[in-house]
């Protein structure tokens, strides 16, 4: 029996149609520009909203990085009508040391945002930090460059066409009139290098695996989610990726998937169990069908919280290792043993 992902074959030239509508579900092919300005956004009571309101409500973010036995790195770019921000961290799993930096663009010249998840150049700079994402449809390549205090810290690249890789592309309805488009990968060989006090280190020498999350749309004004991601090699040398989440993309379709050497498998609905008063305690992640049973142990975290102002937020991203088992929909069992990745709890008011 085919999954909804396997059944969706439509080639989409752009996300929003000429009539201002869009089709929900999965796409196997690149969607092109997320042309949100062409969407007919309405109030919950059916009134067509002005273009300025579309600009105010639109939300867009990237999260890109890698995991390996020695290092874990994460880099985020977020853009709303009120602010554009970025953060980066590099965590040494052996020593527990972490390099981290965050910034907010102060002027229009401090950022550029591309709305095509597969083509374009985006950057944010500030506080001695500059982050750039370069996306190219040719090879479906993604490239991340991070500079801190005028020194290059990370240059990472991966190609989704190299395996080939079954990229997750999904559009779901959000709230009474909004929608969310997400495009995600995990479990891809990372190339490039990072620079530490020990010198330049090749990502291939580390056995690093990459991940990428592109999300955009008219999300709920106050958005909450839990998220887990695995990106690494198992004991059989297979490249394993997991994207597991709840509270955002669960209306009609689910973004929860597993990749094995680039092939995508559905993972069902996901439940997260953890100590809300101490997120560094172990997490348990399970699925409604019992096919996913994972235990996450935190080794470090990146947190940011501000309950005040126009856009309060509470962000906790933990990184560490996963253990457990996953059953694929073809009946095969995956043993997850000390694979690196992330768990996250996020709440934000966007505008």
Above pLDDT 70, what percent of the chain?
A: 96
- Tens of pLDDT, residue by residue over 94-117, are 999 999 999 999 999 999 999 999
Report the alpha-carbon distance of residue 304 to residue 281 in Å, rounded.
18
- Whether the Cβ atoms of residue 285 and residue 271 lie closer than 8 Å to each other: yes
Q: What is the pLDDT of residue 8?
A: 44
Q: Averaged over 320-327, what is the pLDDT?
A: 98
Looking at residue 249, its pLDDT comes to 87
Confidence of residue 6 (pLDDT cuts 50, 70, 90): very low
205 pLDDT band, cuts 50/70/90, is: very high
Rounded CA-CA distance 52/1 in Å is: 45
Cis preceding-peptide flag for 70 (omega within 30 of 0)? no
> Across residues 76-105, what is the average pLDDT?
97
Residues 293, 247: Cα–Cα separation, whole Å: 19
- Phi, psi of 290, rounded to the nearest 5 degrees: 85, 5
Tell me: pLDDT of 1 over 60.
no
Is pLDDT at 161 greater than 60 in this prediction? yes
Q: Is the pLDDT of residue 5 over 70?
A: no
Residues 6+ apart with CB under 8 A from 122: 62, 77, 111, 112, 113, 114, 132, 133, 135
| pLDDT at residue 162, rounded to an integer | 85
Asked if the model's pLDDT at residue 242 lies above 60, the reply is yes
Distance CA 105, CA 120 (A): 19
Q: Kindly tell me if the per-residue pLDDT of 9 is higher than 90.
A: no
Tell me the pLDDT band of 42, cut-offs 50, 70 and 90. Answer: very high
Over residues 305-322, the mean pLDDT reads 96
**3-state secondary structure labels for all residues of the chain:** CCCHHHHCCCCCCCCCCCCCCCCCEECCCCCCCCCHHHCCCECCCCCECCHHHHHHHCEEEEEEEEECCCEEEEEEEEECCCCEEEEEEEEECCCCCEEEEEEECCCHHHEECCCECCEEEEEEEECCEEEEEEEECHHHEEEEEEEECCEEEEEEEEECCCCCCCCEEEEEEECCCEEEEEEEEEEEECEEEEEECCEEEEHHHHCCEEEEEEEEECCCCEEEEEEEEEEEECCCCCEEEEEEEECCCCCCCCCCEEEECCEEEECCCEEEECCCCCCCCCEEEEECCCCEEEEEEEEEEEEEEECCCCCCEEEEEEEEEEEEEEECCCCCEEEEEEEEEEEEEEEEECC
pLDDT at 82 over 70: yes
- The model's pTM is 0.94
Model pLDDT, residue 2: 54
Closest CA to 270 of 243, 305, 236: 243
> Which pLDDT belongs to residue 10?
42
- Segment 206-216 shows an average pLDDT of 98
Domain ranges within the chain, ordered by starting residue: 4-349
User: What is the overall mean pLDDT for the chain?
Assistant: 95
| Cα(150)–Cα(34) distance, integer angstroms | 32
pLDDT mean over 150-179: 96
31 has pLDDT over 80 = yes
| pLDDT of 4 higher than 60 | no
């Amino acid at each position: 029996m085919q999954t909804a992902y396997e059944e969706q074959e439509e080639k989409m030239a752009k996300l929003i149609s000429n009539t201002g509508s869009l089709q929900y579900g999965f796409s196997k092919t690149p969607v092109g520009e997320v042309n949100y300005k062409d969407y007919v956004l309405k109030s919950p009571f059916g009134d067509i909203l002005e273009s300025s309101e579309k600009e105010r409500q639109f939300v867009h973010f990237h999260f890109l990085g890698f995991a390996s036995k020695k290092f874990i790195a994460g880099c985020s770019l977020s853009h709303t009508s009120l602010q554009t921000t970025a953060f980066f961290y590099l965590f040494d799993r052996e020593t527990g040391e972490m390099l981290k930096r965050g910034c907010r663009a102060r002027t229009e010249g401090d950022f550029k945002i591309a709305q095509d998840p597969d083509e374009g150049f985006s950057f944010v700079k500030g506080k001695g930090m500059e982050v750039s994402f370069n996306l190219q449809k040719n090879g479906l390549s993604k490239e991340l460059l991070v500079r801190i205090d005028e020194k290059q810290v990370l240059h990472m690249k991966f190609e989704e066409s190299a395996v080939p890789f079954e990229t997750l592309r999904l559009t779901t309805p959000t709230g009474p009139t909004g929608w969310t488009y997400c495009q995600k990968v995990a479990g891809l060989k990372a190339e490039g290098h990072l620079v530490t006090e020990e010198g330049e280190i090749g990502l291939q020498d580390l056995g690093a695996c990459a991940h990428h999350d592109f999300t955009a749309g008219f999300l709920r004004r106050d958005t909450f989610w839990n998220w887990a991601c695995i990106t690494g090699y198992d004991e059989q040398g297979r490249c394993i990726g997991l994207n597991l989440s709840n509270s955002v993309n669960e209306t009609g379709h689910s973004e929860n998937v597993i990749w094995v050497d680039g092939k995508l498998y559905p993972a069902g609905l996901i439940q997260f169990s953890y100590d809300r008063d101490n997120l560094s305690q172990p997490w348990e992640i399970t699925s409604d069908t019992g096919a996913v049973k994972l235990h996450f142990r935190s080794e470090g975290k990146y947190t940011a919280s501000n309950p005040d102002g126009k856009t309060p937020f509470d962000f906790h991203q933990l990184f560490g290792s996963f253990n457990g088992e996953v059953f694929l929909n073809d009946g095969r069992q995956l043993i997850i043993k000390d694979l690196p990745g992330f768990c996250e709890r996020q709440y934000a008011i966007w505008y």
